[in-house]
Structure 1
Amino acid sequence: MILLGEGTVITRDPANPIITRGAVVMDKGAIVEVGAYDTLKSKYADATVVNAHGKLIMPGFINAHHHIYSALARGLSIPGNNPTNFNEILEGLWFFLDRHLKKEDVWASAVATYLACIENGVTSIFDHHASYGETEGSLSVIADVARQFGVRSCLCYEVSDRNGHEEMEKAVAENVRFGKEAAKDPAHLGAMFGLHASFTLSDDTLAYVREQNIDKLGYHIHVAEGMADVDDSLAKYGVRTVERLYRQGILGDRTIAGHCIHVDAEEIKRLQETKTTVVHNPESNMGNAVGAPDILALYKAGVRLGLGTDGYTSDMLESYKVANCLVKHRSGLPNQGWTEIPTMLFDNNRAIAGDFLNARVGILKAGAAADVIVMDYTAPTRLDATNINGHLLFGANGMNVITTISDGIVRMQDRQLVGMDKEKLMEEVRRVADGLWKRLLA
């Protein structure tokens, strides 16, 4: 049993939002009680105390759209690759990279990413994977690292026609296979059916996916991230991307549609009618120069919006800050985003995780998963339940996280990883990355 305290507990529980000089008691992977430090210290006298140093105690963050496979591209420069549009970015970097990824590279990418998750207080992620250099078993490689590092993970493999029919079938088979594996450990692993995007998926492939998806896994797909996705759908099928996916039976209440930048009013209505979840990835969208989704229109229409990073970072507060600025920049209204963006990160990401992981995460209350972090933040002004989101927006980032606990196990305490030798792990990651780069640049 662990007693984490004392500190200012930000519960994300509307019935008990903030506890000054509070603590969280955890045992066997679950929260036992949240309350006043002195009371709990006396009540659970035999518990192991983890010192929160009077700082902020919060639920672990949830990333609703990540790309672990991109981790080893950091610092990579491919000669002759000077993309001027999104398709050139995909062809020149990401498709080129994933065609070369072997299981060892997937392992190293997972280690680097999950280390970053722990250091940034992220305890649950939804990952969208591709490693066409070695597809079979690749999701299990990620899952093994996820269990080792204690980050709950909902995984999928990116089905696409871009590498031919045989590789497409391998990708489908990997989703089906891993779905059965994840079902054996539902509190820690989830599975979805990964799809790249409409413009790399034929009608025949989507029909094959539906046929093979006998376990009714939800779908995780990129939607209208660039205009090429829309133009392709209009040219080939006579309808815009969202409508095409609707007709193909892909949308629904267990579907995550990443991005949805180039969607019109009718498509937004369709997303809402089908209860499809949209995940916003602000830094990636800006970095790829693909535009910005109309978050306000989606939000007002009742579409459930989550927040992700698209592999750009593992720091959810970084994504939170950029999303806040971007919605204001796009709308030209500085009074917007104050409600919508924190709802995405703190409420909707929790709900999305609840749909696919058999664990209650993103909240500190009895019975919830013991995924708890401590942030080294000292408020320069009054901090209470009404303004905590503003304090985090302007005063903190992921590297303010000093302690990360997941599943009731301390993964990092006072910025020191527990049970992991970061130096040795990263040395091995760099060794693998060097081998990958040699193959890429040969």
Structure 2
Amino acid sequence: MPGLICAHCHAYGAFARGMPLKVEPPTRFVEILERIWWHLDKRLTLDDVYYSGLVTAIEAVRHGTTTMFDHHASPFAITGSLERLAEAFRKVGVRANIAYEVSDRDGLDRAEEGIRENVEFIKRHRGDEFITGSFGLHAQLTLSDETLEKVVEAAKGLDTGFHIHVAEGVEDVFDSLTKSGRRVVERLWGAGILGEKTILAHCAQTNERELRILKDTKTNVVHNPESNMNNAVGVAPVVRMMELGIRPALGTDGFTMDMFREAKVAYTLHKLHMADPRVMGADKVLEMVYHNNSELASKYFPRPLGKIVPGAFADLVVLSYRPYTPMHDGNFPWHFIFGMDASHVTDVVVDGKFVVRNGELLTVNEDEIFEEAKELAKALWDRL
């Protein structure tokens, strides 16, 4: 089957797994950012970035994910960070689109450094079929009007879109209303951020007017159900998006690199949320996993991804799944949701080359990488 695509993730968060929390546990979304993610990303070194990329890419391919849209942050190790990630992803054998999340939260100098990192990386990887760039922004929550103007100006002529978190929690909505008198999507629309190549992660707290703006501007939305549940920020109106003709893609926000699992969560979450077992059928989930993720990837890579068609990249996954009921085109989505999982992945091919063969990772020494990653993670935790 086609290799899976993760439409939004964060390799930089890899070393948070098992990380000790040395402050009071967060009680709301902004506190999660302040006490966990912003606490961690400020202390990342370029070596941390590289090994976070390696372990994330390894987990991706082992779970059948062959393409990642990675959204990066390391505010005290910005310059060169995207190249370190690119080096890691390429070494393991995972195709990727990478962006640096520009933010004002650590000062204007670092915001401008983030802008330069995006611009230089996008230019450097023009024509690269394996690694491409998009223009990363954190969220309107941490971006002034002045910085938004700068990024729009900097992106001119790059043939790219922006990759940004949008309305992930109610705090983002309140902040936008306070700053501009407009909701998040409206503010970004007015700033010139939306468009056919722009990627909006989450959109959990969007209303009908905002959804219609997204449809009219053909802006891409990425649903990250597990992360939204974990952060208790709400459920994105994905069912309504589909009714309007918006085609949401599926990502993980770095919560996992297992797109089989993420698909199962998307399948069940909306039924529970809407108290209606008819919504979000397996066919609709597979529409996100394959059609919509593939459509998004086609905007950043020169040949089709997530499809087995003439001319597409040879990114493939082989499963050991043996159905004990009939399986055909009409019921394949239900086999995908109820039968298949990442434990069935035996072989992974990226760009026509085996990355995993008979369960063995061929491209890198997994044991050595994990041991070095443990040492770097310990050192990072000591700096927290």
1:221 lines up with 2:149 in the alignment: no
Structure number having the greater strand percentage? 1
Indicate which of 405, 411, 422 corresponds to 2:366.
422
Structure number having the greater helix percentage? 2
1:350: which partner in 2? Answer: 294
Spell out, residue by residue over 1:206-242, the C-alpha distance to the aligned partner (whole angstroms, 9 max, x if none): 0011111131421001100000110011111111111
Contact preservation (8 Å) 1:256, 1:279: yes
1:204: which partner in 2? Answer: 146
Moved beyond 3 Å, runs of 4+: none
1:169 lines up with 2:121 in the alignment: no
Contact preservation (8 Å) 1:275, 1:304: no
Indicate which of 301, 304, 325 corresponds to 1:360.
304
Spell out, residue by residue over 1:250-270, the C-alpha distance to the aligned partner (whole angstroms, 9 max, x if none): 011111111001111111110
Give the Cα–Cα distance (whole angstroms) in 2 for the partners of residues 184 and 136 of structure 1. 22
Spell out, residue by residue over 1:319-345, the C-alpha distance to the aligned partner (whole angstroms, 9 max, x if none): 000001111112111011113221111
Give the Cα–Cα distance (whole angstroms) in 2 for the partners of residues 171 and 250 of structure 1. 17
1:371 lines up with 2:315 in the alignment: yes
Matched AA of 1:237: S
Secondary structure of the residue aligned to 1:374 is strand
Secondary structure of the residue aligned to 1:183 is coil
Indicate which of 123, 131, 135 corresponds to 1:189.
131
1:85: which partner in 2? Answer: 28
Pairwise mapping of residues 152-163 of structure 1 onto structure 2 (< 5 A)? 152-163=95-106
Give the Cα–Cα distance (whole angstroms) in 1 for the partners of residues 29 and 363 of structure 2. 41
Spell out, residue by residue over 1:94-140, the C-alpha distance to the aligned partner (whole angstroms, 9 max, x if none): 01111111100001100110000110111111010001120001000
Matched AA of 1:199: L
1:16: which partner in 2? Answer: none
2:224: which partner in 1? Answer: 281
Secondary structure of the residue aligned to 2:179 is helix
Spell out, residue by residue over 1:287-313, the C-alpha distance to the aligned partner (whole angstroms, 9 max, x if none): 000010111111111112100000000
Give the Cα–Cα distance (whole angstroms) in 1 for the partners of residues 139 and 346 of structure 2. 38
Give the Cα–Cα distance (whole angstroms) in 2 for the partners of residues 434 and 77 of structure 1. 10
Contact preservation (8 Å) 2:10, 2:253: yes
Contact preservation (8 Å) 2:93, 2:363: no
Matched AA of 1:162: R
Query: What stretches of structure 1 of length at least 5 have no aligned partner?
Result: 1-57
1:150: which partner in 2? Answer: 93
State which drifts further: 415-424 or 271-280: 415-424
State which drifts further: 358-367 or 272-281: 358-367
Q: CA deviation at 1:419?
A: 3.5
1:237: which partner in 2? Answer: 180
Give the Cα–Cα distance (whole angstroms) in 2 for the partners of residues 300 and 219 of structure 1. 25
Percent identical among aligned pairs is 42
TM-score when scaled to structure 2?
0.98
- Residues 161 and 59 (structure 1), Cα distance of their counterparts in 2 relative to 1, 3 Å cut: same
Matched AA of 1:344: M
Query: What stretches of structure 2 of length at least 5 have no aligned partner?
Result: none
Give the Cα–Cα distance (whole angstroms) in 1 for the partners of residues 321 and 189 of structure 2. 45
Give the Cα–Cα distance (whole angstroms) in 2 for the partners of residues 216 and 96 of structure 1. 33
Spell out, residue by residue over 1:143-165, the C-alpha distance to the aligned partner (whole angstroms, 9 max, x if none): 11111122110010000110011
Contact preservation (8 Å) 1:279, 1:308: yes
Q: CA deviation at 1:363?
A: 1.2
Give the Cα–Cα distance (whole angstroms) in 2 for the partners of residues 111 and 126 of structure 1. 15
Indicate which of 122, 145, 149 corresponds to 1:179.
122
Indicate which of 317, 320, 324 corresponds to 1:380.
324
| Structure with larger Rg | 1
Give the Cα–Cα distance (whole angstroms) in 2 for the partners of residues 216 and 241 of structure 1. 24
2:50: which partner in 1? Answer: 107
Q: CA deviation at 1:365?
A: 2.5
Give the Cα–Cα distance (whole angstroms) in 2 for the partners of residues 69 and 77 of structure 1. 17
Contact preservation (8 Å) 1:220, 1:258: yes
Q: CA deviation at 1:190?
A: 1.5
Indicate which of 377, 385, 395 corresponds to 2:339.
395
Q: CA deviation at 1:184?
A: 4.2
Spell out, residue by residue over 1:170-221, the C-alpha distance to the aligned partner (whole angstroms, 9 max, x if none): 1111001101111141x11111110111111000000011111131421001
Give the Cα–Cα distance (whole angstroms) in 2 for the partners of residues 372 and 296 of structure 1. 29
Contact preservation (8 Å) 2:167, 2:173: yes
Give the Cα–Cα distance (whole angstroms) in 2 for the partners of residues 176 and 361 of structure 1. 24
CA-atom RMSD in angstroms: 1.0
Give the Cα–Cα distance (whole angstroms) in 2 for the partners of residues 148 and 322 of structure 1. 30
Contact preservation (8 Å) 1:268, 1:298: yes
1:18: which partner in 2? Answer: none
Pairwise mapping of residues 64-75 of structure 1 onto structure 2 (< 5 A)? 64-75=7-18
1:137: which partner in 2? Answer: 80
Give the Cα–Cα distance (whole angstroms) in 2 for the partners of residues 245 and 269 of structure 1. 14
1:408 lines up with 2:364 in the alignment: no
2:214: which partner in 1? Answer: 271
Give the Cα–Cα distance (whole angstroms) in 2 for the partners of residues 411 and 345 of structure 1. 21
Contact preservation (8 Å) 1:157, 1:194: yes
Matched AA of 1:348: N
Give the Cα–Cα distance (whole angstroms) in 1 for the partners of residues 164 and 77 of structure 2. 21
